[in-house]
A = this chain, B = another copy of it.
Amino acid sequence: MVNIGVVGPWAAVLAGLFALAVSFLLARSVLKADTGTPRMREISDAIAEGSMEFLRVEYRVVAIFSAVLAVLFFFVGPIIEPDSPRFWRASATGFLGGASLSALAGFIGMFVSTRANVRVAQAATRGLAPALSLAVRAGAVNGFAVVGLGLLGLAGFFITWRAMGVATPDIPILLVGFAFGGSLVSLFARVGGGIFTKAADVGTDLVGKVEAGIPEDDPRNPGVIADNVGDNVGDCAGMGADLFETYAVTLIGTMLVAASETLPPEPTETNVLYPLLLGAVAVIASAVGLLFVRLPKSGSIMTALHTATLVTCALAALGFYIITIPILGLPLPYFGAAVVGLVITVFLIFTTDYYTSKHFGPVQRIAGGSTSGTATAMIEGMAVGLESVAIPVVTIVVGIVVAFALGNSGDLEHGLFGVGLAAVGMLSVTGLVVALDTFGPVTDNAGGIAEMGKMPGEVRQVTDALDAVGNTTKATTKGYAIGSAGLASLVLFADYADHVNRASDVPLTFSLQSPAVLSGLLVGAAAVFVFGALAMRAVGHAAGEVIEEVRRQFREKPGIMKGTDKPDYAGCVRIVTTRALREMIVPAAMAVALPIGVGFILGGDALGGLLIGVIVSGLVMALFMANAGGAWDNAKKYIEEGAHGGKGSDAHKAAVVGDTLGDPLKDTAGPAINPFIKAITTIAVLIAGLVAQYHWLNL
């Protein structure tokens, strides 16, 4: 038998390097493609520059926040918790590692996608197939960078700490800092990016379309570059950072369960490293699955992407089997639990598609409701969003119950580990999902460049078709991101409970009968709402500044509208960047302060309640927001394609109103809830030991 403690982490390193190699090769092939006319390059360069400007400013804020927290961890942690200096120092190091790698993944994704856009627009001159292929490859650069850096980071720290003499079961808790680093970056990326993208969109459209009467993506609009930058910072960098963190947190959370001395199964090296190896094998499955993105005869791009998803999941299941039974010789139910995660993935993606795609009843009902006016359009969209939470929640509940039952089947008593493995199974296909998501901003930008570059009509037909699919993939991958964040956080809650209990004199029960737990639950549920309010309002504020700036430029340079003067694109980008990042501080600080406040005031039981309150309420609210927004958006697009009188009809006007509310719900508030949930849960695990010892009230 090989020494799994040595071979396991190195296998994960190899898989991580493989993913990065795939990412690199794809990036090279994308960058080699033709960049079209100088005019197109000029637009694309402006978008790339604006995106990088945003990243630069965002990373500066993140760096300051991170430096402060790292110093606190490294120097103050060991003082207030003198028994575990190693924990705090390792957490500080891991924290910086997680934050840096997440930032690096975001940089790589943005770098390529803001260069791929123009190339996809140019490839569209040769038809749908080459444009699709290029866009998918560009998306995959981001996807494989995310999982590659995630695996490499985790395995790298594992190997380093092992070399420093830490025993395998003691390592996972040291990795929580790594997860928190990813959390912090994803919180800023999701919140800041979400505010940026919607403020630029709403503000630019309002002055451009409504006041100046020029179409979307018109180069005369000073906000148009900011709008295109927004697509990248929201759906590319934001989603990438979000899933980087969910990926890391799921692996770490499940390794923590495996490493616990109080939770079954027994903490063996095999069990602890098993999640990492599941992740490693799924990377290969994703790479093969990606090869299946080929335009079928029907020409349906969605079919091509769905095929790739199903192939990836099937191959991952095969890989899970090989790892679990012949290689590691682990119980068969473990394999079953991991497959449950893959099944949840497929269910969530297809359910979200059902609720947000214009091919199905829900979106068509909103479009139908739009014919009776705004009121019915709003009511029906709200109803679709609210009801859309049911199937995903039931899917997750059934998944938890089945994974738990599998973990407890036969003579095993490993229910919780089963749930963790389901989460790992679900997250193992992160690479593919991020690829599908990043497809969205790339094709959206390609459409914008085609419009602004005044390319011929047939090119725009191709980019429009891709953009429509990109809208769907952005929506469906949101369902996955939310569901996986919820499941990952539930695993992390179990770790929190385990840790706080081991440090408590009297074991906590987390009973719903305790007023502390109830208080935590109520505060957690309300916190999600307040966080959503902050995000929504931030969009309003930042959009107001964009409106002012665009109006000012039109006023001060009348030549812009005549085409004789060039608008100051960078000025708009700068304004949204500054404002979005300023608005991001309070919500981010709330995510950090809330678990600390509740924990040290009301104690460990209340903090447990807070976590579950935030997870449960966050899961349903994020699903509602994302799906309502996606459905309203596509109802508008459905009408624009000719239904119910088409563009300019009364139905269209009603649908546009639905979209104005839906847009910030689906692109700012909803997605921002994911990192909010995960940051709070990760912090709770970090402070579990302290909370058990120090809290103000004893309820």
What residues make up the interface of A, taking CB atoms closer than 8 Å to B? 202, 206, 210, 369, 372-376, 378-380, 382-387, 389-390, 393-394, 396-397, 400-401, 404-405, 415, 419, 490, 493-494, 497, 509-513, 515, 517-519, 521-523, 525-526, 529-530, 532-534, 536-537, 539-540, 543-544, 547, 602, 608-609, 612-613, 616-617, 619-620, 624, 657, 660-661, 663-665, 697, 699
A379 contact from B530, B537, B602, B609, Cβ within 8 A = B537
A–B Cβ pairs within 8 angstroms, 22 of them: A210-B373, A375-B543, A378-B657, A379-B661, A382-B533, A384-B533, A385-B533, A386-B532, A386-B536, A387-B533, A393-B522, A393-B525, A397-B519, A401-B519, A405-B699, A419-B515, A509-B509, A511-B512, A512-B608, A521-B612, A525-B616, A529-B620
A58 to B620, CA, bound (A): 33
Contact (Cβ within 8 A) B660 A523: no
Contact (Cβ within 8 A) A526 B390: yes
Give the residues in chain B near A657, CB-CB below 8 Å: 374, 378, 657
Question: How far is the CB of A49 from the nearest CB of chain B, in Å?
Answer: 28
A500 to B657, CA, bound (A): 49
Contact (Cβ within 8 A) A522 B369: no
Give the residues in chain B near A612, CB-CB below 8 Å: 512, 518, 521
A383 to B536, CA, bound (A): 6
Chain A binding surface SS class: helix
Contact (Cβ within 8 A) B515 A383: no
Closest A-B pairs by Cβ, 9 of them: A387-B533, A386-B533, A375-B660, A393-B526, A510-B512, A378-B661, A383-B536, A383-B537, A383-B533
A505 to B526, CA, bound (A): 36
- Would A518 and B400 be within 8 Å (CB), given that A379-B540, A608-B512 are in contact? yes
Contact (Cβ within 8 A) B401 A697: yes
Contact (Cβ within 8 A) A202 B529: no
Give the residues in chain B near A396, CB-CB below 8 Å: 522
CB-CB nearest in chain B for A486: B522
Give the residues in chain B near A493, CB-CB below 8 Å: 512
Question: How far is the CB of A448 from the nearest CB of chain B, in Å?
Answer: 20
Question: How far is the CB of A416 from the nearest CB of chain B, in Å?
Answer: 8
Contact (Cβ within 8 A) B509 A369: no
Interface centre among A383, A415, A530, A547 (most CB of B within 10 A): A383
Give the residues in chain B near A382, CB-CB below 8 Å: 533, 536, 661, 665
Give the residues in chain B near A697, CB-CB below 8 Å: 401
A202 contact from B375, B387, B530, B544, Cβ within 8 A = B375
A530 contact from B386, B405, B513, Cβ within 8 A = B386
- Would A660 and B378 be within 8 Å (CB), given that A390-B530, A613-B616 are in contact? yes
A379 to B202, CA, bound (A): 11
A379 to B547, CA, bound (A): 15
Contact (Cβ within 8 A) A497 B512: yes
Copies in the complex: 2
Contact (Cβ within 8 A) B543 A376: yes
Give the residues in chain B near A517, CB-CB below 8 Å: 512
Question: How far is the CB of A410 from the nearest CB of chain B, in Å?
Answer: 16
CB-CB nearest in chain B for A211: B373
Question: How far is the CB of A80 from the nearest CB of chain B, in Å?
Answer: 26
16 extra A-B contacts, CB within 8 A, seeds A379-B664, A383-B534: A369-B540, A375-B543, A376-B540, A376-B544, A379-B660, A380-B540, A385-B533, A386-B529, A386-B532, A400-B518, A490-B518, A509-B511, A510-B513, A512-B517, A512-B609, A512-B612
Give the residues in chain B near A613, CB-CB below 8 Å: 616
Give the residues in chain B near A374, CB-CB below 8 Å: 657, 660
- Would A389 and B530 be within 8 Å (CB), given that A372-B547, A490-B518 are in contact? yes
Give the residues in chain B near A369, CB-CB below 8 Å: 540
Question: How far is the CB of A312 from the nearest CB of chain B, in Å?
Answer: 27
A379 to B376, CA, bound (A): 18
A511 to B501, CA, bound (A): 13
Give the residues in chain B near A515, CB-CB below 8 Å: 400-401, 404, 415, 419
A373 to B203, CA, bound (A): 11
CB-CB nearest in chain B for A663: B375
Give the residues in chain B near A539, CB-CB below 8 Å: 379
Give the residues in chain B near A529, CB-CB below 8 Å: 386-387, 389-390, 620, 624
Give the residues in chain B near A624, CB-CB below 8 Å: 529
Give the residues in chain B near A379, CB-CB below 8 Å: 202, 536-537, 539-540, 660-661, 664
Question: How far is the CB of A83 from the nearest CB of chain B, in Å?
Answer: 25
Give the residues in chain B near A532, CB-CB below 8 Å: 383, 386
Interface centre among A379, A405, A521, A537 (most CB of B within 10 A): A379
A657 to B655, CA, bound (A): 12
Question: How far is the CB of A326 from the nearest CB of chain B, in Å?
Answer: 30
Give the residues in chain B near A609, CB-CB below 8 Å: 512
A602 to B401, CA, bound (A): 10
Give the residues in chain B near A210, CB-CB below 8 Å: 373
Contact (Cβ within 8 A) A394 B509: no
Contact (Cβ within 8 A) B619 A394: no
A512 to B376, CA, bound (A): 40
A400 to B372, CA, bound (A): 46
Question: How far is the CB of A175 from the nearest CB of chain B, in Å?
Answer: 22
A509 to B619, CA, bound (A): 24
Give the residues in chain B near A494, CB-CB below 8 Å: 513
Give the residues in chain B near A419, CB-CB below 8 Å: 515
Question: How far is the CB of A491 from the nearest CB of chain B, in Å?
Answer: 11
CB-CB nearest in chain B for A656: B374
- Would A380 and B522 be within 8 Å (CB), given that A515-B400, A530-B390 are in contact? no
Interface centre among A373, A390, A494 (most CB of B within 10 A): A373
Question: How far is the CB of A104 from the nearest CB of chain B, in Å?
Answer: 34
A139 to B215, CA, bound (A): 55
A519 to B619, CA, bound (A): 13
